[in-house]
Amino acid sequence: MKVTKFLDLELLELEEPNLRRPSYMIVGIPDAGLVGEIATEYLINSLGMREFAEVSYPNSPYLVQVINGVAKSPIRAFYSSNVIALNSWSALNPDLAFQVSGLVMEIARKYAVDTVISITGVPVPNRLELDRPSAFWISSGEDLAEEMSKVEEIRKFGDGYIVGPYAKILLDSKRTGIRNLVITVESLLDLPDPEAAIVAIEFIGKYIGVKVDTSKLEREAENIRSRIRELMEQTKRQMPSFGRGTTTYA
C-alpha cells in the first residue's frame, strides 16, 4: 500500500490507475440536495469502477462506513478506463473540506487528469414545481468556457458566487492550470434530490462519452417527489389548526 500525504489527510492507495486520454476526475461532496454524492455514487456503480484508494484523516472525529461487513473510510477513490471518481459518503466539516479540495488537485496532478468535474446543487424555492431542473456550468478558465459555450444542453452560470470546497477546487485549478468544470443543478436544499442528480449524470455521460442508464434513479426520484408532495399537502391541511387560539393585543 502506498501512502500520499496532504496536510492531515492520507491517501492510501491499493493500486495506481493507468488512465487513457482524455482523462477525467469526478468529485462528489455532500451539499445541497446531495446532488454531487448521489450522481457520483451512481456513476461509480453504473460504470463498474474499481476502488483504488481511500482517504484517512486521523485528526478528525472517527466515522467508519461499513460495506458488506468490512470497515471503510467514507471518502474513497475509484477508477475505470479514463475516469477517476472521488466520493464522500459523509458530510465534511469546513476544515476537512478544505483539505479534500487540496487532495483533489494532488490526485489530478499525479494521474495527469485532463479535466476535473465537480457536481453540486443550487437550491431554488420552486424546485418541486419544475418538471426538470436546469443545469449550469462554471469553468476554471477561458478555454473551457469557450468549449462549454457551444454545448446546448447546459447553460452558463453567469454572474454570482459559490462557496465551500468546490470554490476552493476552482481556485486551485486556476492556479495549477488543471481544467475544472463545475456542474451545478437546481435542487432541493435539505432533502435528497435524485432527479437533479439525473440531470448531472446525463450531461456528464455525454461529456465523457459513456452511456449511463438512469432508469433506476428515475424511479427513486419519482417516489421521493411523491412523498415530499404528500408531506407538503399534509402540512398545508394542518396549518390552520396551528393558528387557532386567543390573541391579545396590547
**Closest listed residue to residue 138, CA positions, set 182, 168, 197:** 182
Q: Report how far residue 65's alpha carbon sits from residue 233's, in angstroms, rounded to the nearest whole number.
A: 36
Q: Report how far residue 218's alpha carbon sits from residue 221's, in angstroms, rounded to the nearest whole number.
A: 5
Residue range 2-214 in CATH 3.40.50.10900:
yes
What is the mean pLDDT of the segment spanning 66-80?
86
Tell me whether strands 24-28 and 115-123 are parallel, antiparallel or unpaired: parallel
Condensed to tens digits (0 to 9), the pLDDT of residues 1-42 reads: 787 777 778 888 989 998 999 999 999 988 888 899 899 999
Condensed to tens digits (0 to 9), the pLDDT of residues 178-222 reads: 999 999 999 988 788 889 999 999 999 999 999 899 988 888 777
Residue 243 has pLDDT above 50, yes or no: no
Per-residue CA distances from 47 to 73, 97, 107, 205, 249 (Å): 21, 26, 20, 10, 64
What is the mean pLDDT of the segment spanning 72-83?
90
Model pLDDT, residue 116? 96
Residue type present at position 211: K
pLDDT, greater one: 226 or 164: 164
pLDDT, greater one: 9 or 236: 9
Residue 61 has pLDDT above 70, yes or no: no
What is the mean pLDDT of the segment spanning 43-62?
83
Mean pLDDT, rounded, of the chain: 84
Condensed to tens digits (0 to 9), the pLDDT of residues 83-135 reads: 999 998 877 777 777 788 888 999 999 999 999 999 999 999 998 888 899 99
Model pLDDT, residue 232? 57
pLDDT band of residue 242 (cuts 50, 70, 90) is very low
What is the mean pLDDT of the segment spanning 49-69?
79
pTM of the model: 0.85
Residue 245 has pLDDT above 50, yes or no: no
Q: Report how far residue 169's alpha carbon sits from residue 14's, in angstroms, rounded to the nearest whole number.
A: 25
Find the helix or strand (DSSP H, E) in which 52 lies. strand 50-56
What is the mean pLDDT of the segment spanning 166-176?
90
Phi-psi region of 5 (alpha: psi -120 to 50; beta: other; left: phi over 0): beta
Model pLDDT, residue 250? 36
Residue type present at position 158: G
